[in-house]
Structure 1
Amino acid sequence: MANYTAADIKALRERTGAGMMDVKKALDEANGDAEKAMELIRIKGLKGATKREGRSTAEGLVAAKVIDGTVGVMVEVNCETDFVAKNDKFIALADKVLEVAVSSGAADLDSLLAAEVEGKKLADFVIEEGAVLGEKVIVRRVARVEGKTVDAYLHKTSKDLPAQVGVLFAVDAEGNGAAEAAHDVAVHAAAFAPTYLTRDEVPADTVENERRIAEETARAENKPEAALQKIVEGRLNGFFKEIVLLDQPFAKDPKVSVGKVLEQAGANATGVARFRVGA
């Protein structure tokens, strides 16, 4: 007769996130010893890790934290299925990754994965935890922004899943007005997905290519030569309004730009980061 109870099965499932049959088999093999069963589940998962190396990790979550109102840190942690993405153990793992990102000060992925957690590199820690979950789990990216005021906004695209979109936005001003503007812009960025913060960040070759397309299109439309330059610049401005955050029409009032909203709040943008799971 098995030397464990239904309560033991439930407790071990909660600790590992493993399926019921895997937990029962481990407890059988361990003769009811929960710690040994835990070890067996982990070993079994690690053995299967190499088989999962080529699998797609298009699900997951975004987690973020603001420290002292002036530093924002955000991570994206991926898994294979939405079933695991909403698993408490996976969410706890993502929280641990964020905690390490905050404490280590890592501003790039390599530094974060090399940071130590519980006596091992975070990269190894994540592999082991993924083994228990039975899926390939990766830390995809990390961002860190700083300013006198930083806002972090997380958005759920499905009520059944953790946040799939996250934004950090920083400004060089303080006070309620700056904080409100920073939050509003963070929410805007989550919805409108800008590629760049300012026009200056757009690569010159991208701008020139867009200018060439605008000019060729205008000529194909037989636009007057005298008006050509003005038409091209107008279309180029339209391009910037699509991809540059400060140029985008503000979500709450499309008559003004995001840049104008910040100007009215007496603030300048100092940094932005936007993650969408799998994008």
Structure 2
Amino acid sequence: MANFSLEDLKALRERLGTGMVDTKNALVEAEGDMDKAIEILRLKGAKGNAKRADRSTSEGLVAAAENGNTATIIELACETDFVAKGDKFVALADKVLAAVVAAGATSVEEGLAAPLEGTTVETFINDEAAILGEKIELRRLTSITAEHFAIYLHKTSQDLPPQVGVLVGYTGDDGETARAIAQHISFADPLYLSREDVPAAEVEKERHIVEEISRNEGKPEAQLSKIVEGRISAFIKQIALLEQEYSRDNKFKVAQVLDNAGITVTGFTRFKVGA
């Protein structure tokens, strides 16, 4: 005779999200002891985690929050969009974000070591991965400090959680324009803030490429230098935020929009799931 009821079976399944057969077998093995059954299920899930270690995690979500003069953004990754849009995965992301923000984590390593419900974020994620049956990982974590922040989270599909997230740190009082710039960043994907921030080595690499292209196109040698500089300028306009054409009105550069609003961007971060 079983040492547990159907209500016990239902309660454990709802608590862990595990399958009927696995849950029933764990309760039988544990002779109705709920805590022992949970341990059995998690140990079984941990073995599954080891088998899933080499699987790719191309789905997931981004989440962000600010705390005082610091804002943090994370990417929590999983294997399938089915799990990504589930309530349990979204709730896990909320807990992980709250834990890393509370710990002041500024890197994935610090985030995984942050305390969460009597254990670490890393162990908590692994336990939840065992329950959900997929590989889950805290793929990225970044924080920035600033006077003010604009946070923009974008859904690429209405049935999925946010897939693109942007943090913008700024000074000034025009929060509406700052948010619009965050939206611009989500679309335009700049890599650097200003022209001066683009590494010289990256510019020189591009210069070599466009010079070779220009020569292969048969451009006149006398005009080559001017043509190359023009293409370098276009390259920088693609990757430096302040040089980009503003997505809402391409008659203006982002720098002009910021100047008109009286705000200064001091830093930004953009995450896209799987990128």
Give the TM-score normalised by the residue count of structure 1.
Answer: 0.90
| Counterparts in 2 of 1:47 and 1:215: CA distance versus 1, 3 Å | closer
Partner of 1:131: 130
1:203-229 residue CA offsets vs partner (Å, 9 max, x unmatched): 212101211222233333333444333
Instruction: Identify the residue that residue 116 of structure 2 maps to in structure 1.
Output: 117
1:156–1:49 CA distance, 2 compared to 1 (3 A): same
Whether the 8 Å contact between 1:147 and 1:171 is mirrored in structure 2 is yes
How far apart are 1:77 and its partner, in Å? 0.8
Q: CA deviation at 1:10?
A: 4.2
- 1:39 — aligned with what? 39
1:183 aligns with 2:175: no
Counterpart of 1:108 in structure 2 is 107
Q: For 1:51-84, what per-residue CA distance to the aligned partner results, in whole angstroms no more than 9, with x for missing partners?
A: 111111111111111234x432111111111121
Is 1:257 matched with 2:253? Answer: yes
Aligned twin of 1:227: 223
> Does 2:237 align with 1:238?
no
Once the two structures are overlaid, the 10-residue window that deviates more, 208-217 or 162-171, is 208-217
The alpha-carbon deviation at position 163 of structure 1 amounts to 0.9
What is the aligned partner in structure 2 of residue 192 from structure 1? Answer: 188
- Provide the C-alpha distance between the structure 1 equivalents of 2:159 and 2:26, rounded to a whole number of angstroms: 30
Give the C-alpha shift of residue 168 in structure 1. 0.4
Local SS of the residue matching 2:252:
strand
Aligned residue runs from structure 1 range 65-76, under 5 A: 65-68=65-68, 70-76=69-75
Alignment partners' CA distance in 1, 2:181 and 2:17: 37
String of CA shifts for 1:180-199, please: whole Å, max 9, x gaps.
11100111111121222222
SS at match of 1:49: helix
Task: Please state if 1:274 is matched with 2:254.
Answer: no
> Which residue matches 1:218?
214
1:166 Cα deviation from its structure 2 partner: 0.5
Kindly provide the amino acid, as one letter, of the partner of residue 250 in structure 1.
Y
- For residues 28 and 62 of structure 2, the distance between their equivalents in structure 1, rounded to whole angstroms, comes to 37
> Share of identical aligned residues, percent?
51
Q: Secondary structure at the match of 1:145?
A: strand
TM-score, structure 2 as length reference: 0.91
Aligned partners of 1:72 and 1:151 also within 8 Å = no
Letter in 1 for 2:140: R
Mapped partners of 1:158, 1:131: distance in 2 = 27
Partner of 2:251, secondary structure, is: strand
* 1:69-109 per-position Cα deviation (integer Å, ceiling 9, x unaligned): x4321111111111211222221111111011211111111
2:158 aligned partner, one-letter code = K
Counterpart residue number, 1:165: 164
What is the aligned residue count?
A: 274
Q: Distance in 2 between matches of 1:168 and 1:216?
A: 37
Structure 1 residue identity aligned to 2:11: A
Q: Could you list the runs of 5+ residues in structure 2 that have no partner in the other structure?
A: none
In structure 2, how many angstroms separate the alpha carbons of the residues matched to 1:147 and 1:41? Answer: 44
Residues 126, 232 of structure 1: alpha-carbon distance in 2 compared, 3 angstrom cutoff: same
Mark the CA change 1:154 to 1:10 in structure 2 (over 3 Å): closer, same or farther.
farther
